[in-house]
Structure 1
Amino acid sequence: MYWLAKLPILTTLFSIYFTWEIGRHWWAKKHAMYLLWWCIGVFFYGAGTFVESWVGLFGWEEPVFRLWYIFGALLGGAPFAQGTVYLLMKRKTADILAFCLIVTVLFASTAVWLSPIDYSLVDPHRLTGKVLEWRWVRLMTPFINTYAFIFLVGGAVWSAVKYAKVPGAKARVYGNILIAIGGLLPGIGGGFAKASYTEVLYVLELIGLLFIFKGYMVIKKDGTRSLHKNQVEIGKEDGK
């Protein structure tokens, strides 16, 4: 339906608010690299839906498509996942993984920007990676998205299981389940988009972000002591 093509506008506006909200949280805890990466994740999530909004309003343009692929396909979930890596793992390990992720994304982004376009496959009002003539570029996306799935969705599920064993930590269980579902939905939407049902992606992007936001807020407001050592230590460093 036509109105669904405009849905990314709403997702973009909500992303702006979410970025501001989590940015304030990070500003109060500047040692928290996980918050910084989550903030970056929300920003690029919104950047991706902004590009989708642009196409919905003005139609397909080559530079806009390339930005969409970089912001959406490559950076839609990976920064979120990297934030979870900083939350769950030792700083040195997280730094190494962050470096590897940045190098991979930079290489893939350069390839996306340089790849010739097959204009015979361009749909004036739909975005699809099929138009990239360098087919191997699209093979890199699953690796980045798998990384995002393992640490964003998997990390949230793991945290929910851990908190389920702690008396009085139901809010954190609930919050992490919401984040896991929210992280999963855009991936499902991406599968529909590959089958040319792009509108399903737009719907699930918005719902997914709302789930992540709700989960984040539930956990933020909960007074239960965190089980994650990094989070506890950062709280001490910042006097909170």
Structure 2
Amino acid sequence: MSPNVVLPFLSSLVSFAFAAAVLAQWSRRHRAFQLVWAVGLLWYGISAGTEFLGSAFGWNEALYRAWYLIGAFFVAAYLGAGTVVLLARTRFGYFVAVSFVFGALYAFAIRGRYPEDTTAFAVVLVACLVAAIAIAMATWRARSLVAPIALAVLGVGSVVAATLVLRATLDAPYALDPTTGVPVGTAIPGNIRILAGPFNIIGAFALVVGAIFSAYVFMPKQRLLGRRALPPGVAQIYGAVAVAVNFIASLPRAAVALARGELHSRVPATLLIALGGFIPGVTSGLNRFGFTWAFFLGELLGVLLIFAGFVVSTEVFGERVRLGPVVVRRREKEVSAT
């Protein structure tokens, strides 16, 4: 059987099972980030499901539109939004603001590919910069507003994206790579493709960097750069650099703690999630530029690694988690992520 059929089918199956597990957890704890993650995983499963159906039974315009809308706009964005909600009351909001700036820079970088779509470029640029400023200010002054702002931006963006994709005039009913048979976005108008980039960049950045940030919060630390009283703006930049430097410096201590069975379970769990978010982010990005051979494989590896991170967490299985010969700490104290 073709891998174009098997891989998306497995990705869809794992995603739906994963979503059910997260929804079950949400039903017990009623934490908002779990619900947002569950929605993101449902989008993941539906997106992979369209790929399975298209590969197994043939593509059509409706299936192609659903694939592009959910895969290009919703999957990474909603998974990343769950991480934003989880870490909304920490300094992670500054990283989220930076991700919106990256989204604006992406739109600026590709503007030459779609010279006729200057309005879409301007809208994306302004929206990303306004959102970046709003989230940065909220993180600085009122962190309780970070999650509502991020979810409001995502909600409005989702409605706009759905309207554009479902009403667009396509260049063809669907588009596939002639060599691999993997769907590509070339049938979608340029103004919509400009909008899709920031959704993926911001969502993937939030998911991956948020997972790394969470690992840093819960790992034993080697602080090469300590806290300093600096002017606003400079302090935020310094804080981001400090987290990155201290995270790398702390890895040896984390490895020792893991070997001793003393490492907080969220550290390996969130690092697996980071890797799981990174791999499909890369393969999806390559798909945009015509390198499609790893697209379905990246999706499957991504959801499997994120699921593995969920399983490793002691929040799922209680006090004891074994990683081969290593036992992750049984009784864990909550750590402030401020």
TM-score, normalising length: structure 1: 0.87
Q: CA deviation at 1:149?
A: 2.1
Q: Does residue 15 of structure 1 match 2:15?
A: yes
Q: Does 1:150 align with 2:244?
A: no
| 2:2 counterpart SS class | helix
The 3 A distance-change label for structure 1 pair 27 and 63 is: same
Cα shift at 1:4:
1.4
Contact 2:280 2:298 in 1 (8 A): yes
Confirm or deny: 8 A CA contact 2:77 2:200 kept in the other structure: yes
Are 1:131 and 2:187 matched, yes or no?
yes
* In 1: Cα distance, 2:337 partner to 2:220 partner: 17
Unmatched segments (≥5 aa) in structure 2: 90-143, 222-256, 320-330
- SS of aligned partner of 1:110: helix
Letter in 1 for 2:335: L
Does structure 2 conserve the Cα–Cα contact (< 8 Å) formed by 1:157 and 1:177?
yes
CA distance in 1, matches of 2:293, 2:333: 41
Cα distance in 2 for residues equivalent to 1:3 and 1:83:
34
Q: Which residue is 2:170 aligned to?
A: 117
Letter paired with 2:332: T
Whole-angstrom CA distance in 2 between matches of 1:209 and 1:119: 30
Return the offset for 1:180: 0.3
Return the offset for 1:79: 1.1
AA partner of residue 109 (structure 1): A
Identity %: 29
CA distance in 1, matches of 2:156, 2:336: 28
Counterpart-to-counterpart distance in 1, 2:74 and 2:198: 12
Say if 1:4 and 1:199, in contact at 8 Å, map to a contact too.
no
How far apart are 1:195 and its partner, in Å?
A: 4.0
> Residue by residue, what CA displacement relative to the aligned partner does 1:38-80 show, whole Å, maximum 9, x if unpaired?
1111100001000001110121210111100111110111111
Which is greater in Rg? 2
Tell me the residue number matched to 1:227: 335
Opposite residue 279 of structure 2, the aligned amino acid is: L
Alpha carbons of structure 1 residues 47 and 101: separation in structure 2 relative to 1, 3 Å? same
User: 1:238 — aligned with what?
Assistant: none
CA deviation profile, 1:103-148 (whole Å, cap 9, x unmatched) = 012101211111111129733843211101x201101111111211
CA contact (8 A) 1:41 1:75 kept: yes
Q: Which has the higher contact order (CA 8 A, sep 6+)?
A: 1
Q: Distance in 2 between matches of 1:120 and 1:42?
A: 27
TM-superposed deviation, 1:96? 1.4
Among 148, 167, 183, the alignment partner of 1:95 is 148
TM-score (norm 2): 0.63
- Stretches of structure 1 that go unaligned for 5 or more consecutive residues are 231-240
SS of 2:265's equivalent?
helix
Residues 121 and 153 (structure 1 numbering): CA distance in 2 closer, same or farther, change over 3 Å?
Answer: same
C-alpha separation in 1, matches of 2:197 and 2:162: 14
Cα contact 1:55–1:126 (8 A) shared by 2: no
Equivalenced residue count is 227
1:159/1:113 CA distance change after superposition, 3 Å:
same
Task: Determine which structure has the larger helix proportion and give its number.
Answer: 1
Is it true that 1:34 corresponds to 2:33 in the alignment?
A: yes
